[in-house]
Structure 1
Amino acid sequence: MIASPVLTDQYQRSLSDPEGFWAEQAGAIPWIRKPGRIRSTDRDGLHHWFTGGKLNTCYAAIDHHVGHGRGEQIALIYDSPMTGVVRRISYRELQQEVARLAGALRAQGVGAGDRVIIYMPMLCETAFAMLACARLGAVHSVVFGGFAPRELAIRIDDAEPKVVLTASCGLEFDRVIPYKPLLDEALQLATHQPTRCLLLQRPQCPAELDTTLYSDWQTVVDEAEPADCVTVAATDPLYILYTSGTTGKPKGIVRDNGGHAVALAYSMKAVYNLEPGQVMFTASDFGWAVGHSYSVYGPLIYGCTSVILEGKPVRTPDAGTFWRIVQDHKVNVLFTAPTAFRAIRKEDPEAALSKQYDLSSLQAVFVAGERCDPATLAWLQRITGVPVVDHWWQTESGWPMVANQLGIEPLPVKPGSPTKPVCGYDLQILGEDGTQLGPNEEGYVCLRLPLPPGCLPTLWRDTPRFRNAYLTRFPGYYLSGDGGYIDDDGYVFITGRVDDVINVAGHRLSTGDMEELVSSHPAVAECAVVGVACPLRGQRPVGFVVLKDGQTITGEAIEGELITLIRDNIGAVAWFRNALLVKRLPKTRSGKILRKTIRQLADGESFEVPPTIDDPLILNEIRALLAARKVGIAFER
């Protein structure tokens, strides 16, 4: 058994005395009024943390530091290799920028509890927007700029924002992406309409503004009076972040103010082993949970410096970008998805570019969003010479659930495992009947209730769905949706999703949504979309399509049309690149499509032919088709 007395004691206390443990951690937050109760339960039986407490997250992230001697410390570093711009913003400058933008939002009628959609690229102004909403007590919802108008429209209708904040364009290595046409189309599709849209003009693609709905961001900000921080309850929502569900409609994950601030401040030391004043570089889009927690709120609440990268690691301008950023900005902790490092390794397998830069400031590398394969882990350890920590968490949790807690006591690394549960998380592996499984027995990864601070208290305006999605399958537990097991040393291993949500480069996407779109094509009789293993992205979707009788469309033509259909409705982020024509799909005798079996075929896994399959010969046909098209990891090696 690999054990750590210090870590074990803290972990056990976090479970046996959660109120006492989290009361201590709450002491690190500048409360306007300290909470009357550490943990409570509402009339619906849902758990809440720090009831009665009053605070403002923006104050904790900015104003508190300015008032306690950190005003001249750099808070944000914006680095855009594509434009050649590097911008350093002190805590005092950040306070001024955010207060003025908050004043501009207030002038548009935004107040506490109102929602604001943020549809923007990786810019300083995107962070300003998040913090400005927090300053007013408004609830922001950041929508990833890679999402298509349909996905944006769904989120607009669900959040019902008073204002939408956007930019004229986003930048990729080889193209400019105008945002206003995408937002315009989304607003045409949406039922709810905001009262105003503020648009940040970028010189790469200025937009024509319709003054009946749009205002120029900078003009409105210049005319605004700075806004002070608005006091909110600890249990009031800070933001909504949408994540894919299995029913087609995204789930609006709610994050409260108090628990969120306490959990992130705790994690900055306990997990990432950072000190105030040090530098964290989190290479994640603001539209994802990682970007919220560790590009913006976590580092700022803890008094660190955060680096914001506009661009991708191998295209901006080369695979040495990450290493250059570590050197230039004296990065202490680097955090990204394994996909990014697989892409870098593909371009620079011998890590020659890393030798051109001084990486001596680096203390640790963290990866999350998908399992880090042992080869990439070993490659990173060899390059950096520092601990490489694969840790596991979800949009729902907002901060790590399983990790090597470097700030308490580091444990030996086991490739393939994110190590052990973080303090506050009572993780159990349950069987189909809800019984607790023993070592090395694979089952459902669940967390005994209550969840610790920072995790979702419910879904936006949909508590029944929250219960059905997470709490009903195993009463008294939160169902993570992942399968896994715990080994003899207490290390957790996550084996994959147990529903239809796949993980494409750290982005959770529903294959059910994709099947619905593929099925809408007039030539398609039926289809299955499965996530297959991808050495670069972790998983990627592959469609298997049965055409209607009498169709003469070629496989190449329909594949192109389906790729366009998915891209237009979900976005390029889905990475849907293959639609394979099959005569029929493998099914059980009762008519259920054997999606797991198809995935196992594509992944090259060994498996027994299901005894309930209606036609075993179809598996050989699909195997031959996969090999001919070189689809799936088994055929890409």
Structure 2
Amino acid sequence: MTDTCTEAPSTYAASAEFAAQANATADLYDHANRDRLGFWAAQADRLSWQTPFSQVLDFSDAPFAKWFVDGRLNVAYNCVDRHVEAGLGERVAIHWEGEPVGDRRTITYGELYTDVCRAANALTGLGLRAGDRVAIYMPMVPEAVVAMLACARLGVMHSVVFAGYSAAALKARIDDAEAKLVITTDGQYRRGQAVPLKESVDEAISAGTDASTVEHVLVVRRTGIETPWSEGRDVWWHDVVNSASPEHTPEAFDSEHPLFLLYTSGTTGKPKGIIHTSGGYLTQTAYTHHYVFDIKPETDVYWCTADIGWITGHSYVVYGPLANGATQVLYEGTPASPDEHRHFEIIEKYGVTIYYTAPTLVRTFMKWGRDIADAHNLSSLRLLGTVGEPINPEAWRWYRDVFGANETPIVDTWWQTETGAAMISPLPGVTVCKPGSATRPLPGISARVVDDNGNLIEPSPELGEHASGYLVLDAPWPSMLRGIWGDQDRFRETYWSRFAEQGWYFAGDGARYDLDGNIWVLGRIDDVMNVSGHRISTAEVESALVGHSHVAEAAVVGASDEHTGQAIIAFVILQADSADGGKHMVDELRAEVAREISPIARPKEIHVVPELPKTRSGKIMRRLLRDVAEGRELGDTSTLLDPAVFEAIRNAR
């Protein structure tokens, strides 16, 4: 610790013992600063390439990048086969814990290899070819990881859809990707109950009048609950995968071959299908997993608590850890099932050494009280991590103290679905950390905080540390998104238009520097809310609300929340003939949003109001509604059509 503050240290350094054995050294920064492209070539060389690349980066058609030009590799081979060929087939790849206590499996790399080969042969038998799209709608079961790797092995693009999403949300993603196959389970366990899942797939495929592109639905028997069946279309996983050949020779694909689509919320309400490719994505996920998490594959047990439906699950549950030959925990259920001890029991049982989770969950643990954690032996933990949103300093210190005995380093990572891998983060053993700050860009990454005109906002003793601006990435990176599926104009407009003159990627987050040069990410500045690390657009929630027969108009904003980062606050105007504006209607509307989108999107508060604040052109001023939701003094109201509207809103709350 490097500060003598009487209340709490302001900075934290890893112990000398940790630093001495750390994967990262300060030389990484020196190498990247001296020869950035040479640095990335060295990281790419950690992978197995069938055909070496001839050029590290071609950015001549900006903003469309080509990384590791002419190189060919197979992502699944890098994640599975090469470890088996190196004699590591008996190493555990996955310790899987189902939500029902006692439901568990241990899967070695040799077993994972066999499972992936069988699944790849089964998918080929169902007519899948390189370039096709497959939707994966599954809980956290081993078959979900196998399905992703089987797709990667065949050059088929997977589109993983969070299993908590509704049929409508699933349909939108299936239709946009024109998926030929959906892989799902009969049901899933949630808080001790087996609930159906395939029914949502059937609804998504049959909804609407357009013919679906889906030719087959491949179903894993998870719960044994009664499952609706369409003969000729639906097939059981155990019928076609378990009987398939365990031998499969993978084909090498171009470095820029699309690996997957992952849909993220957009401000228009239509989800954006983010395209990630093979060589650059795997290079950066493997590199960051190795150095940021200080992974020692021979001895570590790593656990990232993210669902595979999110980018964190793609990069730091599937591709990064498996590319590095790591042993990891995969948990199906919720943190409080059957009780609040579950995560701590899992850490204790498997001797987890690296634990990577969301600040929302840390704050939930805080709310439960440290007595629960103190009832367990957490001494195996040697590194902690956070992801999804900025973590407040109080939660950071609690996490370090309670989980890490006030000694364990924490890596607070900033990145996005679009960036593919971690971009700003401490390097454990190298970086002196400040609670609440993701610190600095990783070696090989360039980021800056700028004003509206692209000028660098630098802190100074005279101005202090509170001048904030926009976070931009001013140089391409290997795992960067390559576009939006079917809409490259939207790709340019969304991410590259704001600072088009400079050629910078606009992250959509506000940020500031402190006097030591650390970056503090302040959260979203657009109309996409960040709820427990899940990005949900205001437009999606508003659309669900106005779909209710009694709602005339709705406006949604995100307000600061100590547990979830942001909470969804809705303001609705009811139809004139609606009699009930009370609690019953509010509960009904909250349930409607949960049905249409996901329980994650359920508004924390819904206020029935007589009017919404609008400009003279009819635009709703959500900025002012955020002021109301957070109890702040109103900002500039000069463009409002009727400034008196806020008196009516306050009276209605």
Aligned residue in 2 for 1:143: 161
Aligned residue in 2 for 1:372: 391
Aligned residue in 2 for 1:442: 468
1:165-204 aligned at under 5 Å gives the runs 165-189=183-207, 191=210, 192-204=212-224
1:352-391 aligned at under 5 Å gives the runs 352-383=371-402, 384-385=404-405, 386-391=408-413
In 2, the alpha carbon distance for the partners of 1:427 and 1:78 equals 37
Q: CA deviation at 1:625?
A: 4.6
1:105-120 aligned at under 5 Å gives the runs 105-120=123-138
1:240 matches 2:265: no
* Aligned counterpart for 1:252 among listed residues 273, 277, 301: 273
AA paired with 1:282? C
Q: CA deviation at 1:234?
A: 0.9
Q: CA deviation at 1:8?
A: 6.4
Q: CA deviation at 1:306?
A: 1.6
Which string of whole-angstrom CA distances, capped at 9 and with x for unpartnered residues, describes residues 164-221 of structure 1? 1110001111432211110011001264321111111123424142222101110111
* Aligned counterpart for 1:431 among listed residues 437, 440, 451: 451
Aligned partners of 1:97 and 1:128 also within 8 Å: yes
CA separation of 1:210 and 1:588: change in aligned 2, threshold 3 A:
closer
> TM-score, normalization: structure 2?
0.91
In 1, the alpha carbon distance for the partners of 2:627 and 2:601 equals 20
Aligned partners of 1:107 and 1:224 also within 8 Å: no
Q: CA deviation at 1:582?
A: 0.9
Q: CA deviation at 1:321?
A: 1.9
Structure 1 residue runs of 5 or longer lacking an equivalent are 627-637
1:225-624 aligned at under 5 Å gives the runs 225-226=245-246, 227-277=248-298, 278-313=300-335, 315-347=336-368, 349=369, 351-383=370-402, 384-385=404-405, 386-406=408-428, 409-439=429-459, 440=465, 441-450=467-476, 452-475=477-500, 476-606=503-633, 608=635, 610-623=637-650
Aligned residue in 2 for 1:632: none
Aligned residue in 1 for 2:462: none
AA paired with 1:463? Q
In 2, the alpha carbon distance for the partners of 1:31 and 1:203 equals 40
Which string of whole-angstrom CA distances, capped at 9 and with x for unpartnered residues, describes residues 23-46 of structure 1? 111111011111111111365652
Q: What secondary structure does 2:433 align onto?
A: coil
Aligned partners of 2:301 and 2:327 also within 8 Å: yes
Q: CA deviation at 1:101?
A: 1.0
Which string of whole-angstrom CA distances, capped at 9 and with x for unpartnered residues, describes residues 261-306 of structure 1? 1111211222111122322101011100011111111111001112
Aligned partners of 1:15 and 1:425 also within 8 Å: no
AA paired with 1:478? Y
Aligned partners of 1:555 and 1:580 also within 8 Å: no
Aligned residue in 1 for 2:139: 121
In 2, the alpha carbon distance for the partners of 1:352 and 1:162 equals 50
Aligned residue in 1 for 2:7: none
AA paired with 2:432? P
In 1, the alpha carbon distance for the partners of 2:158 and 2:570 equals 35
In 2, the alpha carbon distance for the partners of 1:321 and 1:373 equals 24
In 2, the alpha carbon distance for the partners of 1:394 and 1:449 equals 16
1:223 matches 2:243: yes
Q: CA deviation at 1:609?
A: 5.3
Q: CA deviation at 1:550?
A: 4.3
Bigger mean CA offset, 580-589 vs 567-576: 580-589
Q: CA deviation at 1:110?
A: 1.1
Bigger mean CA offset, 533-542 vs 5-14: 5-14
Q: CA deviation at 1:562?
A: 1.9
Q: What secondary structure does 1:38 align onto?
A: strand
Aligned partners of 1:78 and 1:309 also within 8 Å: yes
- Pairs aligned (count): 620
Aligned partners of 2:581 and 2:608 also within 8 Å: no
In 1, the alpha carbon distance for the partners of 2:312 and 2:242 equals 31
Q: CA deviation at 1:589?
A: 4.5
CA separation of 1:416 and 1:601: change in aligned 2, threshold 3 A:
farther
Bigger mean CA offset, 7-16 vs 455-464: 7-16
1:33 matches 2:51: yes
Q: What secondary structure does 1:612 align onto?
A: coil
> TM-score, normalization: structure 1?
0.93
CA separation of 1:15 and 1:593: change in aligned 2, threshold 3 A:
farther
CA separation of 1:81 and 1:517: change in aligned 2, threshold 3 A:
closer
Q: CA deviation at 1:564?
A: 2.9
- Identity level (%): 37
Q: What secondary structure does 1:151 align onto?
A: helix
Q: CA deviation at 1:123?
A: 0.2
1:100 matches 2:118: yes
Q: CA deviation at 1:79?
A: 0.9
Aligned partners of 1:458 and 1:466 also within 8 Å: yes
AA paired with 1:78? W
